Structures are given as structure tokens and as C-alpha cells.
Amino acid sequence: MRWILVGFEAVDPASGITALHKAAKCGHTTIVLALLKSGANLDAADGMGYTALHHAVDQCHSSTALRLVQAGADIHATTGFSLTTVVHLAVDHDDATTVLAQHGRGANLDAADFLGWTPLHSAGYLGRTAAALALGGLGANVEAAAQEGSTPLCLAVVAGNVTCLVLLHLGWSGFD
């Protein structure tokens, strides 16, 4: 990877990845904090639209993600074309803790990606039961329809994810 300096930030011109992105992606919280203190752009997006927060969550570095959020990272930022949010990425990894933390900071649990899928659609389709339970308990819209009309319940059926299917079908009433 070849790096160039843009202001005080190292950037890979091919990917747009900054030193902050790399540190967040690797879970190097101390380096992330040092870079932020040195003036790194907290919400800079790489060529795919990922911010440092996206990278930290996508690699399951929850403590790094928490520090980025505490520093003021945009929890509503979406990636480029796919419009993926941090909550979508947390669901991909069945990370209920990050889902809960993002909700506590005001993240939109029903934000739709480029397919119209909310994080709950992804949880149902991928069988991410911990994330589905967290989303349901927080009031995510179980009736949300994606662009092609599918609901989270429909996607759980299509994918054969029985546990998510039961959670979605009960509408969380069995867990109150």
C-alpha cells in the first residue's frame, strides 16, 4: 500500500483508506485516540464509503467503536452505494451489544439499505438471533417491507432460519 500525505493525514490514494481507518479496522484503540488528538478526520469515508466507525464495527472491535462514538463519530453515516449503516454491520456479526449501544445513542434501527432492507431484514435472513432479539426488544419495525415487498419474517422463512422465524412470528410478545 502506497501512502500520501493529505494535510496531516496519510491516505492510500487507491482506496481512500486513512491511517484512522486502518487503526480502527485493527482495533488499535490507543492509536485511534492518538490520531484523533492529532486532528484526523473522524468521519472521513474511504472509497467504499466506510468511516472508521464502520471499520471498527465490521471487524467486531466494540471498544474501538465505542471510543469513536464517544469522540463524536456519525452513527447515521451510510456506506457508498449499499447505504449500509453501523447497525447493519453489527447485525451481520450478530453483535447485540453494538446494536443496543447504537440505539442508546439515537441510531435509526429501521434505516434501509439499497435493497430496502432494514437491520431486522438482515437478521432474519442471516439467522442473527441475538441481534434480532435486541432489535425486536428495541421496537424495530417487524412489518417493514423491502423494495421487493419482503418483510423480515418472509426473509427468515426463505432462508430457513427457524429461531429468527419464531422470534419474528411471536412479535417479541413471548419475551416480555
Q: How far is CA 114 from CA 25, 82, 147, in A?
A: 24, 5, 9
- The answer to whether residue 93 scores a pLDDT higher than 80 is yes
What pLDDT shows up at residue 166? 87
* Share of residues in the chain with pLDDT > 70 (%): 91
How many CA atoms, within 13 angstroms, populate the side-chain half-sphere of residue 28? 12
pLDDT band at residue 6 using 50, 70 and 90 as cut-offs: low
Average pLDDT for the chain:
90
User: Could you tell me if 69 and 75 are in contact, meaning their C-beta atoms sit under 8 angstroms apart?
Assistant: yes
pTM: 0.88
Question: Is 5 in a helix, a strand, or coil?
Answer: strand
Helix ranges (H only) for the chain are 19-26, 29-37, 52-58, 62-70, 86-92, 96-104, 119-126, 129-137, 152-159, 162-170
